[in-house]
Structure 1
Amino acid sequence: MAASSNSSLSGSSVSSDPEDYQPPIWKSYLYQLQQEAPRPKRIVCPKEMETRPKYYGREFHGMISREYADELLRATDGSYLIRESQRQPGTHTLALRFGPQTLNYRLFYDGKHFVAEKRFESVHDLVTDALITLYIETKAAEYIAKMTANPIYDHLGYTSLLKDKLVHRLSRGRTESRRVTFVRDERVHTFRGPHWCEYCANFMWGLIAQGVRCSDCGLNVHKQCSKLVPSDCQPDLRRIKKVFSCDLTTLVKAHNTPRPMVVDLCIREIELRGMKSEGLYRVSGFSEHIEDVRLAFDREGEKADISASAYADINIIAGALKLYLRDLPIPVITFDLYPKFIQAAKIPNAECRLEAVHEGLLQLPPAHYETLRYLMAHLKRVTTFEKDNLMNSENLGIVFGPTLMQPPEQNALTTLNDMRQQKLVVQLMIEHEDVLF
């Protein structure tokens, strides 16, 4: 087995210095095993089954015994059928022949087929994935246990690149508040076509959900290898194509800032020349000019010119800030915490209500919390100019409630019913900014 691991397939990865980069040697032993895995063979029921669920095909044999299923499958490795359980009528079992035995799995359907966490569009795909996994884990159990022992991760430049970036940032003399350590944001990912782990260089086997991908830096690894990769993460700026409509956490990680620079720059410009502007945040700027600001940020980032010489009307800058916050794929008050804040606003006791809002704030992701804290401090300063701008905390709550909070189901009726609570949550955060944050 060890000798087989030296065979290679070319692949691409990341190097801290493109001029010194040499393609890694991928370990293709597991890929070869996947190619050797048994192929699924459906055992068709010879008669039409009236009790067959509509989401199963002719592989459904009705209520037959485990022993009879074993007889039907015995001849062919990889053969399978579905039977209804005799012990628990109404439940279904996938019977699968692998090697010298028939394996039985409780089979479920919720729009997709599954026996564990992976979900498949068809039973055929589920069986294919199961046979690949069983074959590889049977033939290469020892190899899999040892495959993280000599990772290529360090040699590909991820670690040195991260260290170099960190040293460079600190040497620029930035304030301590900007020195933030972020946790790698890993999500289970389905790779189309052969893919290799960028930690250990071994093939990621299976049809779907073969490994995890970091949504920030793009690192692709086995689930088990992800536990060994350093948690510090610096997204690759080449992967961040725009500023607006980009995930908030991803954006601040990419630029190593506590908040999106759009928020900082717009608020700075508004506080410089717009705090006394009547109807600030309520009065709309020209939509085409707001779109120009959006495009400027997407093209030029922090170098975008939003000064008075470029946009004399401060409502354009205020509108751009609202647009940025409204277009976030995950709102500042995240979808999963939305119900908690709505329920908090319904609490009749003022002290308990405030405490519930505070508990919700503490559960926000760091970038979301910091963005909200900075924005609320700004909006509180806006209210100190209420005599001029006519914007008190209630008015600002009406404006920013649906901007910062959106129900996860995106239902118009839910949004309409929750408007009062949305307004109240923002109003409370402005009025009690010093206590809540």
Structure 2
Amino acid sequence: MSPSSPIQKVWKPELYKIQLEAPTPKPLRRTEPITGLGEPCYYGTEYFGEMGHQAAESLLENTPDGSYLLRRSPNAQEYYTLSVRFNNRTKHFKIYFKTGEGHYLQEQAKHYDTIHELVADGLINFHMQLHAAPIIQQINQQTRNCYQQSPYMTLNRRKLRALSNELRKSIIAKGNCEPDAKSGNNIAVTNSTSSKDNDADLILPLIYEKAHTFKIHTFKGLNWCEFCANFLWGFTAQGVKCEACGFVAHSKCSELVPAKCVPDLKRIRGVFGTDLTTMVQLYQCLIPFVVRRCVEEVEARGMLQEGIYRVSGFADEIDALKLALDRDGEKTDMSESTYGNINVIAGTLKLYLRLLPVPLITFQAYPSFMQAARNTSISDQIRNTNVAAKKLPLAHYNCLKFMMEHLKRVASHYAANKMNEHNLATVFAPTLIATPQHMTNLTEEIFMLSSLITNCEAIFN
């Protein structure tokens, strides 16, 4: 990552990668009809009727993790029993059902529309407790100091400062006096300083106190905690969300978030740091407008620029363009008269891709890409990379294809810009591929990406 980057990568993908390895629900189906009381209308062939725990364990003994069945325990009243296989052991749980509320475990707040969802969520939580305990323990020991380094502040510091400055100006304009600390506004003016160092340490130039209104929330797609930057694991009710400003956090992290809720902040929340699939669904497009607009500008006036994508633009100009794209979206003025230095456009594109919570070449597809690149035969490389690319989510596939074709066109002007496929791969490898921070030797990744650029037409067609 370039030291001049105005924003460091903030998302921590470790928990997401661990969740990907969790077992999935595998219902055990009966093959014969049930005699006696019959099956409840809200269960299917995974219900085996009255059965003791030893018989259930016998049926599940040689099945893979995630296998489950439903049964009625002898003498059970008002509940059924879920028997599920995990870590080579069979676990048994009392489960209940209420019309309008769904399936749930005893004394648990979470309710599920289907047994499949209940089991999926349980398996993820079992897996996380087993394999991610140190990370979860670290999250639970967070201190308030994390707020200043949180993704929320990293991505929104300047927006918060600008918003609070407007509030301060309105207060001064109304009477040139400080409001009563006990007033309904809950705002007090501080002696703000223009010192850059001091300003960086401020949460806001105002002492602003407003409690968040956190509610348990079920998130669709991938979401990260805006306090600790770790993935929100689970199948349902993964964390909480502030109804007023949209701040997303783990339940435990929300207890440490300062009372700095700005209700109007949700109107100026940006596209940087948002999951790629969420972006294309939100804007109903194949390629995120940030990627498309930046590529259009580079191809219009940067193809002959020596060191394009390698030479860094000014960090403050990249930050300004990022804020403009967050604020104005596709209407952002990116013309030469506004951003004359094309390296600023190129740097903003790299920043956008670097801030994706899930990298363009996803954690799941990465091993297949690397394995394909190790083939000594070019035809085998192309064929296997084509297979690897098809493992990407559609949004990632389309964007990767778009970027590789663009970089291929950039490399075709090597005589002028001195950026061939290998040089471009060297620049983009840390941006497009998930690599551990301590990993410095990216030789294989660069070779793979260089091959992807060189053979993009054959791979994606």
TM-score normalised by structure 2 residue count:
0.46
Task: Give the TM-score of the pair, scaled to structure 1.
Answer: 0.48
- Structure 1 or 2, whichever has the larger Rg, is 1
Relative contact order: is structure 1 or structure 2 higher (C-alpha 8 Å, sep ≥ 6)? 2
